[in-house]
Structure 1
Amino acid sequence: NFGGKKTVLKGDLNLRADVSLRDNITVIRNMEIDNSQITSGQTIWTINLTADYALSKNLTTLLFYDHTFSKYAISTIFPQTSVRTGFTLRYNFGN
Protein backbone atom coordinates (compact mmCIF):
# COMPACT_ATOMS: atom_id res chain seq x y z
CA ASN A 1 0.00 0.00 0.00
CA PHE A 2 1.75 3.14 -1.25
CA GLY A 3 -0.71 5.78 -0.12
CA GLY A 4 -3.57 4.12 -1.97
CA LYS A 5 -6.85 2.74 -0.77
CA LYS A 6 -6.65 0.03 1.89
CA THR A 7 -8.50 -3.17 0.98
CA VAL A 8 -9.84 -5.50 3.66
CA LEU A 9 -10.84 -9.01 2.61
CA LYS A 10 -13.89 -10.41 4.37
CA GLY A 11 -14.64 -14.09 4.12
CA ASP A 12 -14.52 -17.43 5.84
CA LEU A 13 -11.20 -19.18 6.32
CA ASN A 14 -11.65 -22.94 6.61
CA LEU A 15 -8.74 -24.96 8.01
CA ARG A 16 -8.55 -28.74 8.08
CA ALA A 17 -5.89 -31.14 9.40
CA ASP A 18 -6.01 -34.92 8.99
CA VAL A 19 -3.50 -37.33 10.55
CA SER A 20 -3.63 -41.08 10.05
CA LEU A 21 -1.54 -44.10 10.98
CA ARG A 22 -1.83 -47.50 9.34
CA ASP A 23 0.19 -50.54 10.43
CA ASN A 24 0.12 -53.70 8.27
CA ILE A 25 2.04 -56.90 8.87
CA THR A 26 1.99 -60.36 7.28
CA VAL A 27 3.40 -63.33 9.21
CA ILE A 28 4.07 -66.92 8.10
CA ARG A 29 3.81 -69.38 10.98
CA ASN A 30 5.28 -72.89 10.93
CA MET A 31 3.44 -74.93 13.58
CA GLU A 32 5.82 -77.93 13.48
CA ILE A 33 8.94 -76.05 14.57
CA ASP A 34 7.22 -73.14 16.35
CA ASN A 35 8.66 -70.51 14.02
CA SER A 36 7.12 -67.22 12.85
CA GLN A 37 8.56 -64.99 10.09
CA ILE A 38 7.44 -61.55 8.97
CA THR A 39 7.18 -61.62 5.17
CA SER A 40 5.77 -58.17 4.46
CA GLY A 41 4.17 -55.14 6.02
CA GLN A 42 4.53 -51.43 6.46
CA THR A 43 3.74 -48.51 8.74
CA ILE A 44 2.22 -45.53 6.93
CA TRP A 45 1.89 -42.04 8.43
CA THR A 46 -0.18 -39.48 6.51
CA ILE A 47 -0.60 -35.77 7.28
CA ASN A 48 -2.98 -33.64 5.18
CA LEU A 49 -3.43 -29.90 5.74
CA THR A 50 -5.81 -27.70 3.74
CA ALA A 51 -6.96 -24.10 3.96
CA ASP A 52 -9.58 -22.50 1.74
CA TYR A 53 -10.68 -18.88 1.62
CA ALA A 54 -13.37 -17.05 -0.34
CA LEU A 55 -11.64 -14.04 -1.90
CA SER A 56 -14.93 -12.82 -3.36
CA LYS A 57 -18.41 -14.14 -4.14
CA ASN A 58 -17.11 -16.05 -7.19
CA LEU A 59 -13.40 -16.56 -6.46
CA THR A 60 -12.01 -19.00 -3.89
CA THR A 61 -8.50 -20.24 -3.22
CA LEU A 62 -7.35 -23.53 -1.73
CA LEU A 63 -3.89 -24.26 -0.26
CA PHE A 64 -2.88 -27.85 0.49
CA TYR A 65 0.00 -29.87 1.96
CA ASP A 66 0.07 -33.69 1.87
CA HIS A 67 2.91 -35.65 3.51
CA THR A 68 3.11 -39.46 3.47
CA PHE A 69 5.86 -41.52 5.10
CA SER A 70 6.13 -45.32 4.78
CA LYS A 71 8.48 -47.57 6.73
CA TYR A 72 8.52 -51.23 5.75
CA ALA A 73 8.59 -54.20 8.14
CA ILE A 74 11.39 -56.00 6.29
CA SER A 75 14.85 -54.48 5.93
CA THR A 76 15.30 -55.07 2.17
CA ILE A 77 12.97 -52.20 1.20
CA PHE A 78 13.89 -48.54 1.73
CA PRO A 79 11.48 -46.16 3.50
CA GLN A 80 9.49 -43.88 1.20
CA THR A 81 8.37 -40.28 1.68
CA SER A 82 6.16 -38.24 -0.62
CA VAL A 83 5.21 -34.58 -0.27
CA ARG A 84 2.58 -32.78 -2.33
CA THR A 85 1.86 -29.09 -1.94
CA GLY A 86 0.15 -26.42 -3.98
CA PHE A 87 -2.76 -24.08 -4.44
CA THR A 88 -5.93 -23.89 -6.49
CA LEU A 89 -7.86 -20.84 -7.66
CA ARG A 90 -11.51 -21.52 -8.46
CA TYR A 91 -13.77 -19.07 -10.28
CA ASN A 92 -17.54 -19.65 -10.40
CA PHE A 93 -19.23 -18.20 -13.51
CA GLY A 94 -22.73 -18.71 -12.06
CA ASN A 95 -24.57 -16.74 -9.40
Structure 2
Amino acid sequence: MDWQRLLHGVADVAQGAAYGMVVGQWSQLDDNTAFNQIFQYVQSRSVAEVDAMDQTLLGMCVNTFDPTQRRRLTTFYATFKVAETLHFQQFRGFP
Protein backbone atom coordinates (compact mmCIF):
# COMPACT_ATOMS: atom_id res chain seq x y z
CA MET A 1 0.00 0.00 0.00
CA ASP A 2 1.28 3.46 -0.91
CA TRP A 3 0.86 5.31 2.39
CA GLN A 4 2.11 8.62 1.03
CA ARG A 5 -0.51 8.59 -1.71
CA LEU A 6 -3.19 7.68 0.80
CA LEU A 7 -2.16 10.53 3.10
CA HIS A 8 -2.24 13.01 0.21
CA GLY A 9 -5.76 11.81 -0.60
CA VAL A 10 -6.88 12.29 2.99
CA ALA A 11 -5.33 15.77 3.06
CA ASP A 12 -7.12 16.69 -0.19
CA VAL A 13 -10.48 15.58 1.24
CA ALA A 14 -9.90 17.57 4.44
CA GLN A 15 -8.90 20.65 2.46
CA GLY A 16 -11.97 20.37 0.22
CA ALA A 17 -14.18 20.07 3.29
CA ALA A 18 -12.63 23.22 4.76
CA TYR A 19 -13.32 25.18 1.58
CA GLY A 20 -16.84 23.76 1.51
CA MET A 21 -17.38 25.04 5.05
CA VAL A 22 -16.38 28.56 3.96
CA VAL A 23 -18.89 28.41 1.11
CA GLY A 24 -21.48 27.12 3.59
CA GLN A 25 -20.85 30.17 5.77
CA TRP A 26 -21.32 32.45 2.76
CA SER A 27 -24.61 30.68 2.05
CA GLN A 28 -25.92 31.65 5.48
CA LEU A 29 -25.41 35.37 4.75
CA ASP A 30 -27.54 37.80 2.79
CA ASP A 31 -26.29 38.44 -0.74
CA ASN A 32 -24.48 41.75 -0.13
CA THR A 33 -22.68 40.47 2.96
CA ALA A 34 -21.74 37.24 1.16
CA PHE A 35 -20.39 39.18 -1.83
CA ASN A 36 -18.29 41.36 0.49
CA GLN A 37 -16.99 38.25 2.26
CA ILE A 38 -16.03 36.71 -1.09
CA PHE A 39 -14.08 39.83 -2.08
CA GLN A 40 -12.33 39.88 1.31
CA TYR A 41 -11.53 36.18 0.98
CA VAL A 42 -9.83 36.63 -2.40
CA GLN A 43 -7.90 39.68 -1.18
CA SER A 44 -6.55 37.91 1.90
CA ARG A 45 -5.55 34.50 0.52
CA SER A 46 -2.51 33.12 -1.26
CA VAL A 47 -2.62 32.20 -4.93
CA ALA A 48 -2.75 28.49 -4.03
CA GLU A 49 -5.70 29.05 -1.68
CA VAL A 50 -7.55 31.12 -4.30
CA ASP A 51 -6.94 28.38 -6.88
CA ALA A 52 -8.20 25.68 -4.50
CA MET A 53 -11.33 27.67 -3.64
CA ASP A 54 -11.90 28.31 -7.35
CA GLN A 55 -11.88 24.57 -8.01
CA THR A 56 -14.04 23.78 -4.97
CA LEU A 57 -16.64 26.47 -5.69
CA LEU A 58 -16.91 25.48 -9.35
CA GLY A 59 -17.32 21.85 -8.33
CA MET A 60 -20.09 22.79 -5.92
CA CYS A 61 -21.88 24.69 -8.69
CA VAL A 62 -21.69 21.73 -11.04
CA ASN A 63 -22.70 19.11 -8.47
CA THR A 64 -25.63 20.93 -6.82
CA PHE A 65 -28.98 19.88 -8.23
CA ASP A 66 -31.33 22.12 -6.27
CA PRO A 67 -32.05 25.01 -8.71
CA THR A 68 -32.20 27.71 -6.04
CA GLN A 69 -28.94 26.63 -4.39
CA ARG A 70 -27.27 26.16 -7.75
CA ARG A 71 -28.27 29.67 -8.86
CA ARG A 72 -26.88 31.16 -5.64
CA LEU A 73 -23.63 29.18 -5.88
CA THR A 74 -23.25 30.27 -9.50
CA THR A 75 -23.67 33.89 -8.41
CA PHE A 76 -21.03 33.30 -5.73
CA TYR A 77 -18.72 31.81 -8.34
CA ALA A 78 -19.21 34.75 -10.71
CA THR A 79 -18.53 37.15 -7.83
CA PHE A 80 -15.43 35.13 -6.92
CA LYS A 81 -14.11 35.34 -10.50
CA VAL A 82 -14.71 39.12 -10.60
CA ALA A 83 -12.91 39.54 -7.26
CA GLU A 84 -10.06 37.35 -8.52
CA THR A 85 -9.79 39.34 -11.76
CA LEU A 86 -9.67 42.64 -9.88
CA HIS A 87 -7.16 41.33 -7.35
CA PHE A 88 -4.74 39.86 -9.89
CA GLN A 89 -5.50 42.53 -12.52
CA GLN A 90 -6.18 39.88 -15.14
CA PHE A 91 -8.64 37.09 -15.80
CA ARG A 92 -6.91 33.89 -14.75
CA GLY A 93 -9.25 31.43 -16.46
CA PHE A 94 -11.01 28.39 -15.06
CA PRO A 95 -9.61 25.36 -13.22
TM-score between the two structures when normalised by the length of structure 2 = 0.20
Which protein is richer in strand relative to its size?
A: 1
Larger radius of gyration: 1
Q: Which has the higher contact order (CA 8 A, sep 6+)?
A: 2
